[in-house]
Structure 1
Amino acid sequence: MFSWRITKYNPKNRDERGSYLDGREWTCFSEVGTKVSEEDYLRTESNYINAITTFMGEMGLNRVYLNALEMWSDEVANQNASGFLSKMWVGKGVTTQEINELAKLTLRNVIWCKLSYKNDFFVHFGYDYYMYIGANKDCPNARKKVRASGLFVENFNSPYLH
């Protein structure tokens, strides 16, 4: 299984242990308007969501399954996501459109989820705008396209595999 860490963080700004050193970097949706403009935030969020569908495209997938789901009620209400989330459950097959919404809500710290397709593909989300994608194929075209969007694709095992 191939596994990558997908982030907006330049690996050149990491120390020898992998810690990110640039404290000026924004790390979450709550920093829109203080550390990041809404326009820059939305562009980055879109790049992350597109990364998922780009890898799925190279894998030939048009749906995955929801493997884990945690919701934070205050934020669910703030993002007007109650109706959408009432139709989500662990084990549900989710379409690309639903994946886009789940990813957006996860990146905005409204929910946390894990997505996968059998043992062939996964998407995991970490704290501070870290995302992990794994596939049973190398996906060179997807990696190239995601890098061209401005995100960094590093070989990295997801800490959320268990």
Structure 2
Amino acid sequence: MPPAFVHRITKYDPADRDEHGSYQGVEEAVSDHGPVEAAYLEAVAAFAEAAGIDRLEIREPSVTGFVRFGAQPAAEGHGLSGLFPADLTGYHDGAEVFLEVALELIRVMLREQGAWCRLEAGDVFAVHVGWDQYVYVGSDRPCAGAAVRTRELGLFAEPMEASPYAAEQR
């Protein structure tokens, strides 16, 4: 069973969505590689702390091949250089990583550098990075303080029924 309390974390103001929920504002759908990206990582860390999580498992890891659909160019080593050996030992389904490494994986995914995975702690906590700077965080508890912190960081934490990237949803 996936986490019960899910938030979509974005830089996109919900007031700028049309009647179908599509964002119509002026924010670019790429990482700024700076303060907004750092705010995303701090928001995820706040949710993890509120849920008592310091490790996550990598689920369904992938790296790009010859075809890429990201808005940003792929990085050497799929953005994983320095996190994993060149042969990607340790980047496999079920591998456990500390939160610090998980946050760097999230950075790689926000930058669309060529790697993607779901990060989960059983039915207790999950982080999924989607297209266009959407991050879905789920927990088995409400994490209201983390949602407030996310807003203080200049981002929006919108409650959702589920992450569209949850294994049960795909």
TM above 0.5: yes
- 1:84 matched to 2:83? The reply is yes
Q: What value does the CA root-mean-square deviation take over the aligned residues?
A: 1.8
1:136 to 120, 133, 140: 140
Q: Which has the higher helix share?
A: 1
Identity across the alignment (%): 33
Deviations 1:63-85 (A, max 9, x none): 11111212126724177633524
Other-structure match for 2:7: 4
Query: Is 1:116 matched up with 2:116?
Result: no
Does the 8 Å contact 2:120/2:126 carry over to 1? yes
User: Residue 72 of structure 1 is aligned with which of 64, 69, 87?
Assistant: 64
Shift of 1:61: 1.1
Aligned counterpart in structure 1 of residue 159 of structure 2, from 149, 152, 155: 155
- TM-score of the aligned structures, taking structure 2 as reference length: 0.82
Q: Deviation string for 1:40-82 (max 9, x for gaps)? A: 5411111111111111101111111111212126724177633
What's the CA shift string for 1:113-152, capped at 9, x where partnerless? Answer: 1111010111011100001011110001111111100000
Structure 1 match to 2:39: 47
Hey, what's the Cα distance between the residues in 2 that align with 1:88 and 1:14?
36
CA 1:80–1:41 in 2, change beyond 3 Å: closer, same or farther?
A: closer
Q: What is the deviation of 1:100?
A: 1.8
From the superposition, tell whether residues 25 and 103 of structure 1 become closer, same or farther in structure 2 (CA, over 3 Å).
same
In the alignment, structure 2 segments of 5+ residues that lack a partner are 66-72
Give the length in aligned residue pairs: 151
Contact 1:76 1:82 in 2 (8 A): no
Question: Aligned to 1:153, what secondary structure does the other structure show?
Answer: strand
Q: TM-score, normalised by structure 1?
A: 0.86
- Contact 1:66 1:114 (8 Å CA) reproduced: yes
Q: Deviations over 1:23-44 (max 9, x none)?
A: x321114xxxxxxxxxx54111
Does structure 1 retain, via aligned residues, the 8 Å contact 2:58–2:117? yes
